[in-house]
Amino acid sequence: MAFLEISGLRKRYHNLEVLKGIDLELEKGGFLVLVGPSGCGKSTLLNTIAGLEAFSEGEIRIDGEVVNQLRPSKRDIAMVFQSYALYPNMTVAQNIGFGMEMRGVPKPQREAAIQRVAGMLQISHLLGRRPSQLSGGQRQRVAMGRALVRDPRVFLFDEPLSNLDAKLRVDMRTEIKKLHAATGKTIVYVTHDQVEAMTLGTKIAVLKEGALQQVGTPAEVYNRPANLFVADFMGSPAMNLLPAQVTGSNGTAALTVARDGGAPIVLRIPPSVAAARLAPGQPVILGIRPEAITDPAGADRNSPWIDVQEAHVEIVEPAGSDTYVVTRAADKEVIARMRADAEVRPGSRIPFAFDLAKAVLFDPGSGQRLA
Amino acid sequence: MRADATAVGPGGGGALGRAFIYGLLLVFAVIFLMPLFVMLVTSFKTLDEVHNGNMLALPQHWTIAPWLDAWGRACVGLSCNGIAGYFGNSIEMVVPAVAVSTLLGAVNGYVLTKWRFPGHKLVFGLMLFGCFIPFQAVLIPMARVLGLLGIGNSILGLILTHIVYGLGFTTLFFRNYYEAFPTELVRAAQIDGAGFWQIFRRILLPASGPIIIVTVIFQFTNIWNDFLFGSSFTSGANVPMTVALNNLVNTSTGVRQYNVDMAAAIIAAGPTLLVYIVAGRYFVRGLMAGAVKG
């Protein structure tokens, strides 16, 4: 049985449904990332798990126990807030110890626990300071210390890194990952940053407008997005989504991507799709990530699904480690990710290698991925 | 700010312009301070000097007799024990009334921002409405209530009246202040296991210094200076300072003792002046705190 189970969770404000029947499970020690654009309901979902917001229907179980009616303090959870929510009138030590104080833990025990956690997070020298005297990264550590010291069943993180600058964010991300590895705690983590979701999660749940779009491992969500929204949301630069048409049938079926003033790009049907189920003339949307379109020399030699097509180079964007090459098909920009030293000039015509093993097809009507 | 003003004044301000501005300010300051000056010098003069001398002149024979008279011997109505007892009445009234109305306002503001319930807007709206009701309109109903409670003509009755009528304002102050108080702190405390009162006492109150000062000054000044409720609901030995001052000045037995009246008036105004001098700078700071966060 899963450690954290959410079933049929719905939340309505008046007539507006902000959570539309969420079903989620997380095993003990798992790291679930709730990701989605702002307003998708991910923070609301986290708050209902915390018990800070009520919900209309459904059930939340932690370790088999239904916690619907339990107050936040009785759920044995700890939460790290976006603003850190450190009590401004208390020192770092008092902040970390406040939860234990409220629970009537004797002072010597409290002191010992504070010291232990402060040592783990390397904030021992800050214990006497007030939050206003700390830097952003230090506040972040104190907020995590306050959560860690209680040794709760589930940790909840509400966009904990969004207030940090870019460099610190990457550092703290690694620390959180280490912390998870070291403590083996069950974590639910909310973010709008898909990179954070990919790097941290053992499981990702993508939300949009209060509905789950896909739940899966980072690899599943990235490689086999369930629909166009997930395909577009996860990954940077985003997946190329090109309107295409199925031509021929069965053995000879192929994909045709129209091009302005030129022969169409013709590709094989990707192996992720059962070609037999596609009808001739059927419109589809081809989803292919930038790293699956390369220069032929940089393509995966072991993949039997490489199709090479020539195309006109519009823009070249060197990014240091890679070079992004922009071409155009089906009236859309197509981004290819080539080696940094690939010889590409804007305006030239070069061969592009499409790795169809990494491509997916979507139904343009429903937006769902075709299998 | 001062550095800014001297470095780069508003456009067109030369030395002459500045002299004009300061001159104008000086004139108005003199106009405003003149009555206080007259009161002060008169209170230190003998009655002879008051009657025969120049109103603006400094006393020729300084005396504190008028102050002692005002405090302990002047006649208010029929009793001639000075205003000491009435000063005590006002203190007895103002301290609990300010304390209770401020505390209740804080609790109201806490509930109206952090523990919202259906209809919270209506409740707050009604309390706001209470701020705008003219006091004259509630005299008779309030008198009836005090009568029913058996606390008519008592300091306790005045305390209750001032708490009730101050609540709208104190609630407004605290609600606006707590509106800007981060709700995540309250949530963090909830998860930490703190209850309703613990969150209030440990998290919100320690951060409420500026608004408490604003509310205390506002309430203290209003309640201390109130005349209407005092004169309507109390009489005789139970009246507060303001009413006693009026009675003192209007008691006409023999010669009018201007020097004693002035001393009594300054004593009556003393506490509010003192409160403003001690805490005044926090007052402005507190009023700003709601507008500009941090």
Percent of chain B with pLDDT over 90: 52
Q: Clarify whether residues B229 and B128 are in a common domain.
A: yes
The pLDDT mean for chain B works out to 87
The tokens describing A248, both together, are: 């021929």
Q: What is the mean predicted confidence (pLDDT) over B252-263?
A: 82
Q: Clarify whether residues B108 and B204 are in a common domain.
A: yes
Q: Are β-strands A77-80 and A265-268 bridged in parallel, bridged antiparallel, or unpaired?
A: unpaired
- Cis-peptide, bond into residue A237, ω within 30° of zero: yes
Cβ-Cβ contacts under 8 Å, A67 against chain B: none
Let me know: does A173 contact A83? Beta carbons within 8 Å.
no
Instruction: Centre a 10 Å sphere on the Cβ of residue A294 and count the other Cβ atoms it contains.
Output: 22
Q: Clarify whether residues B275 and B140 are in a common domain.
A: yes
Closest CA to B158 of B229, B105, B102: B229
Would you say residue B70 lies in a domain?
A: no
Which pLDDT score is estimated for A187? 94
Look at the pTM and tell me if it is higher than 0.95. Answer: no
Which pLDDT score is estimated for A1? 67
Q: What is the mean predicted confidence (pLDDT) over B142-147?
A: 92
Report the CATH number at residue B275: 1.10.3720.10
Successive 10-residue mean pLDDT values, chain A, 371 residues: 89 89 92 92 92 91 91 90 90 93 92 91 91 89 90 91 86 90 92 91 94 94 94 91 84 82 85 84 92 88 88 90 90 90 87 92 92 83
Q: What is the mean predicted confidence (pLDDT) over B242-255?
A: 82
Q: Clarify whether residues B142 and B215 are in a common domain.
A: yes
Would you say residue B76 lies in a domain?
A: no
Residue in B with minimal Cα distance to A104: B193
Inform me whether the pLDDT recorded for B280 exceeds 80: no
Which pLDDT score is estimated for B130? 86
Cα of A99 to nearest chain B Cα, Å: 4
Which pLDDT score is estimated for B89? 92
A79, A82, A88 ranked by CB distance to B191: nearest: A79
Q: Please judge whether B191 and A52 are an interchain contact, meaning their C-beta atoms are less than 8 angstroms apart.
A: yes
Cα of B197 to nearest chain A Cα, Å: 12
d(CA A45, CA B82): 69
Inform me whether the pLDDT recorded for B7 exceeds 70: no
B184, B190, B198 ranked by CB distance to A83: nearest: B184
Closest CA to B279 of B215, B222, B205: B215
Would you say residue B2 lies in a domain?
A: no
Q: What is the mean predicted confidence (pLDDT) over B58-84?
A: 85
Would you say residue B168 lies in a domain?
A: yes
Q: Clarify whether residues B178 and B227 are in a common domain.
A: yes
Which pLDDT score is estimated for B291? 43
Which pLDDT score is estimated for B282? 73
Phi, psi (rounded to 5 degrees) for B193: 100, 10
d(CA A69, CA B269): 57
Cα of B204 to nearest chain A Cα, Å: 9
Q: Which domain holds residue B284?
A: 84-291
Cα of B203 to nearest chain A Cα, Å: 7
Inform me whether the pLDDT recorded for B2 exceeds 60: no
Q: Please judge whether B187 and A72 are an interchain contact, meaning their C-beta atoms are less than 8 angstroms apart.
A: yes
d(CA B117, CA B110): 12
Q: Clarify whether residues B41 and B165 are in a common domain.
A: no
Q: Clarify whether residues B144 and B185 are in a common domain.
A: yes
Inform me whether the pLDDT recorded for B290 exceeds 60: no
Cα of B114 to nearest chain A Cα, Å: 12
Instruction: Centre a 10 Å sphere on the Cβ of residue B238 and count the other Cβ atoms it contains.
Output: 21
Residues 6+ apart with CB under 8 A from B58: B41
Phi, psi (rounded to 5 degrees) for A263: -70, 145
Domains defined along chain A, listed by start: 4-227 (3.40.50.300), 240-370 (2.40.50.140)
pLDDT in tens, A198-229: 999 999 999 999 999 999 999 999 999 999 99
The answer to whether A82 faces chain B, any CB pair under 8 Å, is yes
SS3 B239: coil
Q: Clarify whether residues B35 and B176 are in a common domain.
A: no
Which pLDDT score is estimated for B3? 44
Cβ-Cβ contacts under 8 Å, B189 against chain A: 87, 98
Would you say residue B185 lies in a domain?
A: yes
Cβ-Cβ contacts under 8 Å, B191 against chain A: 50, 52, 72-73, 77-79, 99
Q: Clarify whether residues B40 and B121 are in a common domain.
A: no
Q: Most A CBs within 10 Å: which of B186, B192, B199, as the mutation test of the A interface?
A: B192
Percent of chain B with pLDDT over 70: 91
Q: How many domains does chain B have?
A: 2
